[in-house]
């Protein structure tokens, strides 16, 4: 039987945590990083006083993937550490799964950051460079400070372009992102697609009135349009569907059915550079059922070993059909860009019209 099919005990309203932990446990590269103890090397190079969050996380993942029994595991040691890092998770209140994910990834990242001495902030600007190069420089600058396995996997880069409606001057800003929070598109009634939500997120916005920015060329406040494109797609793309009016004070929930593809989510139309590879497959979903504070979180994950889907409801793990994964409760979606190696294997197997073998023959 497949490994990794181990439930997590609910310690009292901790289903939000369990749901996210299961999604991360089924994130193959992160799981392998823990299973192979690769995190130790990064911890050793780091002189931060406390590295217990990463250690407890890795220990938990190891237990989940090497346990010979299918009995549920208690994440209480891990919870102690996440509370130390983020005191807001002290106690047993229901929390928002996406916020928890952000805190957790940030905490793990800090403990395995390969950067031990951060360079002094310098005010170097790259505004004179073409956009493509400016994006690369900004990314390199980010890596000088934040560089870890977590960043390798989850972090991408967004470009926002501000265009002056007077003179047409376009200024650009590049920012790293750890996930994308997508507004839910409205279409009268019925379902919307994930692409509709992506289009709404990247839709051109007009900044006018009080919001008018200062145009660099006109040297005056002007009406501008603002638009996002993705400059760099991460290996793991986390998409958060903004179902709640506000994460902390949840006053209402949208239960719109957002239809999303399980395979070949093609996001190239949102790329700054259309030639970048931006096709993803779904491998995990954090499901929120119920209303605002009173709900319950579960996870659906595709086991990286056998490719089958399972439902993780705290301590219970049950097989499910891939056809059930899409529901109006999907809340946080985990997509992965298939590794290039898979494509090569497919070619070597003769799966494609062009086979690697042909490239080497005569
Ligand atoms: C690591 O230790 C060195 C030497 O004590 C110190 O200069 C550096 O700031 C420390 N780095 C961090 C990230 O704390
Ligand atoms: C997801 O939420 C829906 C709606 O409440 C629920 O019917 C379904 O059982 C949930 N799935 C899982 C696996 O929790
Ligand atoms: C999760 O398990 C609980 C019992 O522990 C059950 O009441 C609930 O219906 C289950 N939810 C889903 C969505 O499977």
- What band does 13 get if pLDDT is binned at 50, 70 and 90? confident
CA torsion through residues 354, 359, 360, 361, sign: positive
8 A C-beta contact, residue 116 and residue 137? no
Least confident of 117-121, 193-197, 200-204, 300-304: 117-121
pLDDT at 60 over 80: yes
Tell me the mean pLDDT in the region 309-318.
96
Least confident of 42-56, 119-133, 195-209, 338-352: 338-352
215 given a catalytic annotation: no
Q: Strand ranges (DSSP E) for 128-278?
A: 156-164, 170-177, 180-182, 192-193, 205-207, 214-215, 220-221, 224-232, 236-241, 258-259, 265-266
Pocket around ligand 2: residues whose beta carbon is below 6 Å from it? 287, 289, 298, 300, 311, 313, 327, 329
Query: Which tokens belong to 229?
Result: 């494109």
pLDDT at 62 over 80: yes
8 A C-beta contact, residue 21 and residue 31? no
Instruction: Convert the pLDDT of each residue in 65-94 to its tens digit.
Output: 998 888 999 999 999 999 888 888 777 777
* pLDDT on residue 352: 36
Q: Rounded distance, CA 102 to CA 52, Å? A: 18
Report the SS3 class of residue 198.
helix
Kindly provide the b/e burial profile for residues 119-133, where b requires at least 16 CB atoms within 10 angstroms of the residue's own CB. Answer: eeeeeeebeeeebee
* pLDDT on residue 355: 32
pLDDT at 110 over 80: yes
* pLDDT on residue 47: 65
Query: Which tokens belong to 69?
Result: 């029994």
* pLDDT on residue 351: 37
> Which domains, ranges and CATH numbers included, belong to the chain?
14-349 (3.90.70.10)
Report the length, in residues, of the chain: 362
Please tell me which residue, 244 or 131, carries the higher pLDDT value. 131
Q: HSE-up of 125 (CA within 13 Å, CB side)? A: 5
List the beta bridge partners of residue 309.
302
* pLDDT on residue 293: 62
> Nearest CA to 332 among 7, 17, 9?
17
Which residue's CA is the nearest one to ligand 2's atom 6? Answer: 289
> Nearest CA to 260 among 331, 328, 357, 326?
326
pLDDT at 1 over 90: no
141 CA to middle of ligand 1, Å? 19
For residue 311, the ligand 2 atom closest to its alpha carbon is 13
Pocket test residue of 42, 43, 46, 47 for ligand 1, highest count of atoms within 8 A of CB? 47
Query: Which tokens belong to 142?
Result: 């980010």
* pLDDT on residue 246: 62
* pLDDT on residue 199: 96
Mean pLDDT, all residues of the chain? 87
């Amino acid at each position: 039987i497949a490994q990794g099919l181990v439930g997590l005990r609910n310690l009292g309203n901790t289903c939000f945590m369990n749901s996210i932990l299961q999604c991360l446990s089924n994130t193959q590269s992160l799981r392998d990083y823990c299973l192979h103890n690769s995190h130790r090397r990064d911890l050793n190079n780091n002189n931060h006083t406390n590295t217990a969050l990463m250690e407890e996380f890795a220990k938990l993942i190891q237990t989940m993937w090497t346990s010979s029994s299918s009995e549920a595991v208690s994440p209480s040691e891990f919870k102690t550490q996440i509370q130390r890092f983020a005191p807001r998770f002290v106690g047993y209140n229901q929390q928002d799964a996406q916020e928890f994910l952000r805190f957790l990834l940030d905490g793990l990242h800090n403990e395995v950051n390969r950067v031990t001495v951060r360079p002094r902030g310098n005010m170097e600007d790259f505004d004179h460079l073409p956009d493509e190069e400016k994006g690369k420089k900004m990314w390199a600058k980010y890596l000088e400070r934040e560089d870890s396995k977590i960043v390798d996997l989850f972090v991408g880069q967004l470009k926002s372009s501000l265009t002056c409606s007077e003179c047409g001057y376009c200024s650009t800003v590049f920012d790293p992102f750890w996930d994308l929070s997508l507004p839910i598109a409205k279409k009268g009634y019925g379902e919307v697609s994930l692409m509709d939500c992506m289009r709404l997120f990247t839709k051109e916005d007009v900044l006018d009135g009080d919001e008018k920015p200062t145009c660099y060329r006109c040297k005056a406040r002007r009406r501008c349009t603002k638009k996002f494109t993705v400059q760099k797609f991460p290996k793991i793309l986390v998409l958060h569907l903004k179902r709640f009016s506000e994460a902390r004070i949840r006053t209402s929930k949208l239960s719109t059915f957002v239809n999303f593809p399980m395979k070949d989510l093609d996001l190239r139309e949102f790329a700054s550079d259309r030639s970048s590879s931006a096709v993803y497959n779904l491998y995990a979903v954090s499901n929120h059922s119920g209303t605002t504070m009173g709900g319950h979180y579960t996870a659906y994950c595709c086991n990286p070993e056998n490719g089958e889907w399972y439902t993780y409801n705290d301590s219970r793990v049950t097989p499910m059909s891939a056809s059930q994964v899409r529901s109006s409760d999907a809340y946080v979606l985990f997509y992965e860009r298939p590794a290039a190696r898979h494509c090569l294997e497919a070619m070597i197997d003769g799966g494609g019209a062009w086979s690697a073998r042909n490239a080497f023959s005569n």
